[in-house]
Homo-oligomer: A and B are copies of this chain.
Amino acid sequence: MPHLHLRLHFGSTRFGPGKAELLRLIAETGSISAAGRAMGMSYKRAWSLVEELNASFAVPLVISARGGAGGGGAQLSEQGAFVLERFQIIEAKAASAVEAEIAALERLLATEVAADMSKRK
């Protein structure tokens, strides 16, 4: 299935499916390192993305307690949950607005034409 990969550029700040997934997993797991691990990311990388996100917004999106045996806990702030939900709505609205055009492009792909020809045999 073809799909739209969508990233928002706000000046130097970028927000796309990777950061959205990280936020979603932080909400789900209650931990930055667990969320990063689920995405095959190092602890350091996950923390640095969270710090970047928090610095880009006026209010931190992720609230965390570093340290402790369990590595502290983390959760989305109200704004974090809002940003994640807004991004998911943006993805859905954009995908639905361009569904017909994507289908028109898909029909021109080499694989589609080959599949169609083999069906006709």
Contacts from A to B (Cβ < 8 Å): 2-11, 13-16, 55-59, 79, 82-83, 86-87, 89-90, 93-94, 96-98, 101-102, 104-106, 108-114
Report B-chain residues with C-beta under 8 Å of the C-beta of A111.
Answer: 10-11
Partner of A110, one of B16, B58, B90, B101: B58
The listed residue (B3, B16, B56) touching A9 by CB distance below 8 A is B3
On whether A101 and B93 interact (CB within 8 A), knowing A9-B3, A10-B2, A58-B112, the answer reads yes
From residue A52, how far is it (CB to closest CB) to chain B in Å?
Answer: 11
State in angstroms the CA–CA spacing of A79 and B112 once bound together.
Answer: 15
18 further contact pairs, Cβ within 8 A, besides A2-B10, A5-B9, A90-B102 = A3-B8, A3-B9, A4-B7, A4-B8, A5-B6, A5-B7, A6-B6, A6-B94, A10-B105, A11-B111, A13-B109, A57-B109, A58-B108, A58-B113, A79-B108, A82-B108, A83-B105, A86-B101
